[in-house]
A and B are shown apart, each in its own frame.
Chain A
């Protein structure tokens, strides 16, 4: 009696709309993502009866330990590589008005090509008679071709290349949000260009650095195609080990390894969220 019916109805309807808008995606994700992941996790607890043996044996599993550390190590190197190469590019992207569109295209162009194609391209470049070896030999730096392909270095180079945009874009976004008058103020107050960068620009871009680092590291953890194609035969990553176990129809162990990979990524994301200053990285870069 107090509230007229059309009003009450429209009010309830308005609150339902966001859920309805998200519903198709949520249902899709539930059916094709959440349920398969859940079933995979379930599988990891059966061997063949209900057991924790897959997990309890991991600490003593020499192959697993080696692969796990190799995966972490590769991810760290790749993350550092993208950071060192990406930060200056992000800075250039934000600072130069005329070159910015060109830089953006150069960054995004490989982004639109499949990872498979780019990994093949690296194979061509780094092969025994690839472009790099031929050029080095022609220039007289090498007497005979050096081994590049199927080494850890090859994996790292190719992964840095593929993951670079994920580092550049969040950093550029953070840099773009820094008020240009802050750099002027710093300079006017006596800070040299290097001092301005170190004391003002770098600290204020940390949310972008944190977001990019997290993104690249977590993506690098699960990389499969690139290390499988250009990496060394002995430097196996977790994802390669999983694929190998699946090939051998060792579903239960593969599921357990997948669970470990998923948990590692979640732990890192969770830890990053809790760090002061980095915790709101995503919030700040989304602003």
Chain B
């Protein structure tokens, strides 16, 4: 397939959408770079789909601006925007064959039949469905239908592809295969992908950057590592992966590290701001980054340590999962890779845990 060139850049500025004065999108500003795979991630009702629909042109913003490649598209009907779109329910035309479905956008652009057939053939190959051109959508499986929808969305070489939970209706195995294929397709085509999902694992696996949305606003934008290692809010820390939350009182600052008192221990945490001494704050850390010390575990990196009581121990195959209780009663989770060589903890055992300061974030 010929090179499509780089993808479009999309700039959302203070984008708002209200229905009967209820804001679905309450002021979203986001710069999506050319050729990027950006995911809008959020729970249902967070405004991610509404945002996507406004970019596609199916919804009109109440306020704010959408610019594609620097040109505002607000008020431009969808059929002039030249954007590829994949819907959750595939939205294949049931009365047209696979070939006719994929050729549909080319036909709208007045492309003659022979040329159309050639591009349709290439698109079918790209999604691994050569030979399926004569079938009707109802004769295909869900996964095959979604591949046809994908082929139809890229056959006219748009510079921007929008996807609204495209894998939501598929089973896990198929979903994982298609995730990899979409990544490959993204790398091959070099166009900009904007992907909507509520599945955080899917977002982490596929995206260059993720915009986490909540209540119509962008809570945080960043690479998967950024969001996982340095969540900026309690919502992001809780929504992406599993997190422990420790209420603490600020005692001082050491360069960029905040020193806080928490559960009778002194805990250090990474902190972007400069909280004042005495502030009540919330620290977060990931369960798989906690370790039992047995009074001995050491590391060259700075650590936090805390005394805890084991309240629940679950063996889950690849890992063991422990519920712990800190001195003041805060519940924590610790995940440890399982090994026959590691002693399993008993419920009621009093022990010490440690974790890196770098893995402790003030949110």
Q: Chain A, interface size: which category?
A: 10 to 19
Could you tell me the distance between the alpha carbons of A200 and B92 in the complex, rounded to whole angstroms?
Answer: 10
A-B contact pairs, 6 of them (CB 8 A): A181-B87, A185-B93, A188-B84, A189-B152, A190-B156, A191-B108
Is A77 in contact with chain B by the CB < 8 A criterion? no
B87 and A192 form a contact (CB under 8 A): no
Candidates B81, B91, B153; contact of A181 at CB < 8 Å: B91
Is B105 in contact with chain A by the CB < 8 A criterion? yes
Residues of B within 8 A of A41 (CB): none
Given A181-B87, A191-B79, A192-B79, verify A186-B104 contact (CB < 8 Å): yes
Could you tell me the distance between the alpha carbons of A46 and B313 in the complex, rounded to whole angstroms?
Answer: 96
Could you tell me the distance between the alpha carbons of A192 and B79 in the complex, rounded to whole angstroms?
Answer: 6
Residues of B within 8 A of A200 (CB): 93
Mark each residue of chain A from 174 to 206: 1 if its CB lies under 8 Å from any CB of chain B, else 0: 000001011011111111110100011001100
Shortest CB-to-CB span from A180 to chain B, Å, is 9
Could you tell me the distance between the alpha carbons of A195 and B87 in the complex, rounded to whole angstroms?
Answer: 20
A187 and B91 form a contact (CB under 8 A): no
A187 and B78 form a contact (CB under 8 A): yes
Residues of A within 8 A of B78 (CB): 184, 187-188
User: Chain B's interface: helix, strand, loop or mixed, by majority?
Assistant: loop
B79 and A188 form a contact (CB under 8 A): yes
Could you tell me the distance between the alpha carbons of A187 and B91 in the complex, rounded to whole angstroms?
Answer: 12
A190 and B91 form a contact (CB under 8 A): no
Could you tell me the distance between the alpha carbons of A192 and B95 in the complex, rounded to whole angstroms?
Answer: 19
On A, residues with C-beta under 8 Å from B are 179, 181-182, 184-193, 195, 199-200, 203-204
Residues of A within 8 A of B108 (CB): 189-192, 195
Could you tell me the distance between the alpha carbons of A184 and B94 in the complex, rounded to whole angstroms?
Answer: 14
Mark each residue of chain B from 101 to 113: 1 if its CB lies under 8 Å from any CB of chain A, else 0: 0001100110000
Mark each residue of chain B from 74 to 102: 1 if its CB lies under 8 Å from any CB of chain A, else 0: 00011101111101010111110000000
Candidates B83, B89, B92; contact of A188 at CB < 8 Å: B83
B87 and A184 form a contact (CB under 8 A): yes
A204 and B95 form a contact (CB under 8 A): yes
User: Chain A's interface: helix, strand, loop or mixed, by majority?
Assistant: helix
Could you tell me the distance between the alpha carbons of A190 and B77 in the complex, rounded to whole angstroms?
Answer: 10
Residues of B within 8 A of A179 (CB): 89, 91
A204 and B94 form a contact (CB under 8 A): yes
On B, residues with C-beta under 8 Å from A are 56-58, 77-79, 81-85, 87, 89, 91-95, 104-105, 108-109, 152-153, 156
Shortest CB-to-CB span from A192 to chain B, Å, is 6
Q: Which residue of A lies closest to B153 (CB)?
A: A189
Residues of A within 8 A of B94 (CB): 204
B58 and A189 form a contact (CB under 8 A): no
Could you tell me the distance between the alpha carbons of A187 and B153 in the complex, rounded to whole angstroms?
Answer: 12
Could you tell me the distance between the alpha carbons of A44 and B108 in the complex, rounded to whole angstroms?
Answer: 59
Residues of B within 8 A of A181 (CB): 87, 89, 91
Given contacts A184-B58, A187-B77, 18 further A-B contacts (CB under 8 A): A181-B91, A184-B78, A184-B85, A185-B91, A185-B92, A186-B104, A188-B57, A188-B83, A189-B108, A189-B152, A189-B153, A190-B108, A190-B109, A190-B156, A199-B104, A200-B93, A204-B93, A204-B95
B93 and A182 form a contact (CB under 8 A): yes
Shortest CB-to-CB span from B161 to chain A, Å, is 11
Could you tell me the distance between the alpha carbons of A200 and B85 in the complex, rounded to whole angstroms?
Answer: 17
B95 and A188 form a contact (CB under 8 A): no
Candidates A190, A199, A204; contact of B79 at CB < 8 Å: A190
Shortest CB-to-CB span from A169 to chain B, Å, is 22
4 A-B pairs with least C-beta separation = A190-B108, A185-B91, A189-B105, A181-B91
* Most interface-central of A188, A189, A191 (chain B CB within 10 A): A189
Residues of A within 8 A of B58 (CB): 184, 187-188
Could you tell me the distance between the alpha carbons of A126 and B109 in the complex, rounded to whole angstroms?
Answer: 51
Given A184-B58, A184-B78, A200-B93, verify A190-B87 contact (CB < 8 Å): no
Residues of B within 8 A of A187 (CB): 57-58, 77-79
Residues of B within 8 A of A185 (CB): 85, 87, 91-93
Residues of A within 8 A of B109 (CB): 190
A190 and B105 form a contact (CB under 8 A): yes
Residues of B within 8 A of A193 (CB): 79
Residues of A within 8 A of B79 (CB): 187-193, 195
Shortest CB-to-CB span from B193 to chain A, Å, is 15
Q: Which residue of B lies closest to A203 (CB)?
A: B95
Residues of A within 8 A of B91 (CB): 179, 181-182, 184-185
Could you tell me the distance between the alpha carbons of A3 and B89 in the complex, rounded to whole angstroms?
Answer: 47
Shortest CB-to-CB span from A31 to chain B, Å, is 44
Could you tell me the distance between the alpha carbons of A185 and B58 in the complex, rounded to whole angstroms?
Answer: 10
Shortest CB-to-CB span from B106 to chain A, Å, is 9
Shortest CB-to-CB span from B111 to chain A, Å, is 11
Shortest CB-to-CB span from A273 to chain B, Å, is 20
A191 and B104 form a contact (CB under 8 A): yes
Given A181-B91, A203-B95, verify A188-B104 contact (CB < 8 Å): no
Residues of A within 8 A of B77 (CB): 187
Residues of A within 8 A of B85 (CB): 184-185, 188-189
Could you tell me the distance between the alpha carbons of A83 and B92 in the complex, rounded to whole angstroms?
Answer: 28
Candidates A184, A189, A203, A204; contact of B104 at CB < 8 Å: A189
